[in-house]
Structure 1
């Protein structure tokens, strides 16, 4: 993999707007907040107006003879991901040492494109299922059907090593049981779900808070592994339960502390079933998005709702690349990227060093 020139910059923002429970919709536009480093809003001379979209840069790197690559996530000001953008929706502005303001760089002349990001990005999903006695005795078939639908909706039709899912389950034991390790195989995941029977657990209690804590630790370890491999990662933790914590091994405060202090690239989704759940607790656990099914017949539709959100989130990361006209000797140049989506727009500003840049970029 190309050597990454880590920029010192991120926007910290809190995830998706919630429905059926949670509404964690505050978005921070603070730059240089200690996440991935420093950054700045676009220069006033561009006169782009108020932003409706947030471009959260994860990484940037350059490649001779003159390519600039920026990897970022796009969301709206409520934290909702914006998937499906194309290269022609981006405008590039550059400012060199001799420019009073930024000059627009033609997207066509610069060969601007959205490129596959699998070499620098891993998207992992952890599906965490409550298989305590109440589920096994009353809604197992519906849970298996809903989980299968979730897998079909989230995993790509064609296997892609950059998109993987693992399945875990919990009961009353002090353990988050692995049903299937991380894999890009949809067939393998579905087979694991189909293999669940009502004899899988011998502890009828529910260690909900322990499951949250352990799943958070697994997600954090995945991000650390990505960093060690010079790869950017995002993890979605999707937790289902039909009740409250009964094991009382861990506290609600300790579980929510894990969620609230988690890396910003870990998203939390929760699905609750029935009348015995604590909707506020599940909304707090599922700070990214939470949904509740009143009965088992509604379970598949709620799983489908979550799968739509997880897919949107995964597809809101972009690797944008273009060939700059700047050449060796121009030094460090300012770069601004603006994106438009219908009536919405947003922009971000960073820098790149044109050392060694010559013509011939393709």
Structure 2
């Protein structure tokens, strides 16, 4: 089979796999299920700073995607790669261990890549909290319809969300802020960004029915403002020695009623956002527009027809947010390349549950010596 036909077959099988997965998502369960989930694909397929692996390795079709976020070298000879892992339809892959990775290097004297021993290279997955900041922005619709009919359920679901997303022990690397909106041209702060979980819970518990003075719903304005906040937080948390990611989670029980901002402007804001900002949406009731909310929650969206299902909605989204945060990895190893060897190609392959994926990049061994551990 020639290369062109091989590539066409790979594309065909990937499309078929995506179609099958999406079909399974929407067909499972019975027709009376209240909760409807939507995996929104197309946002996690990029390789970041990496590129497809050279064909000489003959690794086969990729069913896992490694997207390189950053990479750097540290003397005397350590190579560090920070990346996230997802499957081909965008679901994050968390919980990977160092022994699930294979490292390949190709120097200037190599026709193809050579496998590097995991044990001899001291390969390891380091805690990504060393260089990783993750910020979650929870945006709650507190318009009159919510306050009058489902406030208790929303408070309970929000507390469950906080408990599931925030680490058991407070960590400066994982922070959350809570905002709310009604009909005003303002995204109200309920609790500023914090790593203290109890502060967030206390803020939710303090919500009462008199919190809002405008019964309308400025959904599009809230989405625009929340995206701006997430962008600012991401820029602040991404510095020379740290990497950042952010998640925006929007809950509403209806559509935009204030009409201050247009649908197109709000959706374009989400579409154009930094690739390290993920968007989730939670819809409740018969008045929502699932199509619009799916575009707002372009990473993942979930809808329920009644408030009894609200906590399950929030738990599903919290699981997704947590998995996404834990699908970022800092992989480090000691390269056998030494000073004077110039630039080398590097490929990282990961295997999990019979699936594999790989990404290729390069590094310069300038100054590399022995003694790396």
Same fold by TM (over 0.5)? Answer: yes
> Could you tell me how far 1:58 is from its partner in structure 2?
0.4
Is residue 98 of structure 1 aligned with residue 109 of structure 2? yes
Q: Does structure 2 retain, via aligned residues, the 8 Å contact 1:96–1:330?
A: yes
**2:142 aligned residue:** 131
Distance 1:251 1:26 in 2: 24
Structure 1 residues 150 and 201: alpha-carbon distance in aligned structure 2, compared to 1, 3 A threshold: same
Identify, as 1 or 2, the structure richer in helix: 2
> 2:326 maps to which residue?
315
**1:51-106 Cα deviation digits (max 9, x unpaired):** 11110000001111111100000011111110000000000001111111111101
5 Å-filtered alignment, 1:43-58, equals 43-58=54-69
Counterpart in the other structure of 2:71? 60
SS at match of 2:167: coil
Distance 1:87 1:222 in 2: 30
Q: State which of 269, 275, 292 in structure 2 corresponds to 1:258.
A: 269
Deviation at 1:252, TM superposition (A): 0.8
Tell me the distance in 2 between the aligned counterparts of 1:27 and 1:209: 21
Structure 2 residue 359 is the aligned partner of structure 1 residue 343: no
Structure 2 residue runs of 5 or longer lacking an equivalent are 1-20, 27-35
How far does the alpha carbon of each residue in 1:100-141 deviate from its partner, in whole angstroms, 9 at most, with x for none? Answer: 111110101111100012232111100000011111111111
| CA spacing shift, 1:158–1:134, aligned 2, 3 Å | same
Is structure 2 residue 114 aligned with structure 1 residue 80?
Answer: no
1:153 aligns to 2:168 (yes or no): no
For residues 217-271 of structure 1, the C-alpha deviation after alignment (integer angstroms, 9 at most, x for no partner) is: 1111112212345422111100001111111111111110111111111111111
Partner residue, 1:11: none
- 1:5 corresponds in structure 2 to none
Give the structure 2 partner of residue 12 of structure 1.
none
Q: Deviations over 1:34-67 (max 9, x none)?
A: xx65x43111111101111110000001111111
Distance in 1 between the 2:354 and 2:54 partners? Answer: 21
User: Is 1:24 the equivalent of 2:63?
Assistant: no
Determine the structure 1 residue equivalent to 2:182: 171
Corresponding position of 2:5: none
Q: Is the 8 A contact 2:44 2:86 kept in 1?
A: no
Shift of 1:281: 1.2
Aligned equivalents of 1:261, 1:183: Cα separation in 2: 26
CA distance in 2, matches of 1:102, 1:52: 21
SS at match of 1:190: helix
**Structure 2: distance between partners of 1:110 and 1:87:** 12
The reply on whether 1:207 has 2:218 as its aligned counterpart is yes
Structure 1 residues 28 and 233: CA distance shift in structure 2, 3 A: closer
Q: Is the 8 A contact 2:43 2:275 kept in 1?
A: no
1:21 and 1:279 in contact (8 A); partners too: no
